[in-house]
């Protein structure tokens, strides 16, 4: 049984009913697509039960909060079919809608009504806050592609899909770099991943931009040190084991403690761009006026160290910018995932 078949078998389990309800048809079609396996299919195939339980709980809670859940389901199907965009990016946009409903409900919004896309621009949801009508548009800021960890992981997935037998080992990448890397650095990093099958000793290199990296290879039978690494190893052993896997270990250095001005500017510009693209749904000629125009942005931070003040600064700056032109817009930026009850994560 290959990874996709195993994933679909697990998807059919009663415990995965919410995920199957919302994305089952889409995932079954993705299982037939050539190329790297979709990330949700990988989760299902590799028996990452805590993560899958989390997804199911989020979807089920969202379904309860939306007054027209079947319309929401049809909206999701329509969104996933629209255009020629990357399937994984589209899926993350759908999950951002689920997480946004849960986040907004936590701060007082209610009576969420999903809106199916039509010929006219329409928001993702209608809702209410303190008896006031609200239009809600959801945007997802994807993790940057040019961070060292992200670039290495994506290249590993590509190569292990193309030649799984060549990559039957555990690779460990160590680095302390934070922020975007140059095109030259990313290109060289991908080349090293390509060459890993032929490298038998620990390998160190300084990439463009003074980025220090170290690759090591280990036998899959060797149990790694460290609690998190051992958990990753256990998950690998529980899966189909078509190829090996890549672990990325990063430390915390002085750079991690400094405010990342360039990163803040990049995030502001990215958020401003996606918000500006959505505003015609609210401020175009002929669009009905409502008391609250809300754009909620789900941010996938590339770094586990997040300054909680950064989203607040961006919200305020963009709201004030629009207010100068007489445009009343509420901006919400969030990244923290809704907390799932411990008993759910344990499968109780």
State the Cα–Cα distance between residues 184 and 106, nearest whole angstrom. Answer: 44
Q: What is the mean pLDDT of residues 60-65?
A: 98
User: For the whole model, what pTM was predicted?
Assistant: 0.77
Q: What is the mean pLDDT of residues 40-56?
A: 87
- Best CA proximity match to 105, nearest among 127, 122, 124: 127
Q: What is the mean pLDDT of residues 136-155?
A: 84
Q: What is the mean pLDDT of residues 321-336?
A: 93
Q: What is the pLDDT of residue 154?
A: 87
Question: Is pLDDT of 84 > 70?
Answer: no
Percent of the chain residues topping a pLDDT of 70: 90
Question: Is pLDDT of 255 > 70?
Answer: no
Q: What is the mean pLDDT of residues 62-87?
A: 90
Residue pair 152/173 in contact by the 8 Å Cβ criterion: yes
Q: What is the mean pLDDT of residues 34-57?
A: 87
Question: Is pLDDT of 251 > 70?
Answer: no
Q: What angle do CA 325, 329, 333 make, to 5 degrees?
A: 130
- Best CA proximity match to 123, nearest among 332, 335, 293: 293
Q: What is the mean pLDDT of residues 157-167?
A: 89
Residue 202: exposure state from Cβ atoms within 10 A (0-12, 13-18, ≥19): exposed
Q: What is the pLDDT of residue 21?
A: 97
Q: What is the pLDDT of residue 128?
A: 97
Residue 154: exposure state from Cβ atoms within 10 A (0-12, 13-18, ≥19): middle
Q: What is the mean pLDDT of residues 278-285?
A: 86
- Look over the chain and give the mean of its residue pLDDT values, rounded to a whole number: 87
Helix (H, G, I), strand (E, B) or coil at 326: coil
Q: What is the mean pLDDT of residues 129-153?
A: 87
Q: What is the pLDDT of residue 47?
A: 66
Question: Is pLDDT of 57 > 80?
Answer: yes
- Residue 68 pLDDT level (bands cut at 50, 70, 90): very high
Q: What is the pLDDT of residue 120?
A: 63
* Residue predicted with more confidence, 114 or 46: 114
CA atoms within 13 A on the CB side of 101: 26
Report CA-CA distances (Å) from 27 to 5, 275, 302: 11, 29, 26
Report CA-CA distances (Å) from 61 to 195, 234, 256, 347: 45, 29, 35, 16
Residue 281 tokens, joined:
């749904």
Tens digits of residue pLDDT in 203-231: 899 999 889 999 999 888 888 887 777 87
Q: What is the pLDDT of residue 257?
A: 44
* Residue predicted with more confidence, 113 or 1: 113
Q: What is the mean pLDDT of residues 77-96?
A: 86
Q: What is the pLDDT of residue 64?
A: 97
Strand 245-250, strand 170-175: pairing:
parallel
Question: Is pLDDT of 29 > 90?
Answer: yes
Q: What is the pLDDT of residue 243?
A: 87
């Amino acid at each position: 049984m290959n990874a996709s078949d195993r994933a679909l078998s697990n998807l059919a389990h009663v415990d995965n009913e919410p995920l199957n309800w919302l994305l089952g048809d889409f995932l079954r079609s993705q299982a037939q697509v050539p190329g790297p396996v979709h990330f949700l299919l990988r989760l299902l195939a590799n028996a990452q039960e805590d993560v899958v339980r989390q997804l199911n709980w989020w979807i089920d809670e969202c379904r309860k909060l939306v007054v027209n859940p079947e319309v929401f389901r049809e909206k999701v199907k329509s969104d996933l079919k629209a255009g020629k965009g990357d399937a994984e990016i589209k899926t993350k946009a759908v999950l951002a809608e689920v997480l946004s409903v849960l986040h907004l409900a936590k701060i007082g919004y209610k009576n969420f009504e999903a809106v199916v896309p039509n010929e006219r621009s329409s928001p993702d949801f209608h809702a209410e806050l303190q008896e006031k009508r609200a239009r809600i548009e959801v945007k997802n800021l994807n993790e940057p592609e040019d961070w060292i960890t992200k670039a290495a992981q994506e290249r590993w997935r590509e190569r292990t899909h193309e030649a799984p037998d060549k990559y039957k080992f555990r690779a460990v990448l160590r680095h302390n770099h934070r922020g975007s890397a140059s095109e030259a650095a990313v290109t060289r990093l991908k080349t090293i991943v390509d060459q890993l099958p032929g490298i038998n000793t620990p390998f160190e290199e300084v990439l463009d931009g003074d980025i220090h990296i170290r690759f090591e290879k280990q036998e899959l039978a060797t149990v790694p040190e460290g609690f998190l690494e051992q958990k990753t190893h256990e998950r690998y052993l529980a899966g189909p084991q078509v190829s090996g896997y890549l672990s990325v270990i990063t430390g915390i250095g002085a750079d991690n403690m400094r405010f990342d001005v360039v990163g803040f500017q990049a995030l502001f510009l990215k958020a401003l761009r996606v918000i500006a693209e959505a505003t015609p749904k609210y401020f175009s000629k002929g669009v009905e006026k409502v008391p609250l125009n809300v754009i909620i942005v789900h941010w996938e931070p590339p770094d586990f160290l997040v300054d909680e003040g950064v989203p607040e600064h961006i919200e305020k700056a963009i709201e004030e910018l629009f207010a100068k032109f007489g445009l009343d817009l509420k901006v919400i930026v969030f990244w923290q995932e809704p907390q799932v009850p411990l008993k759910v994560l344990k499968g109780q």
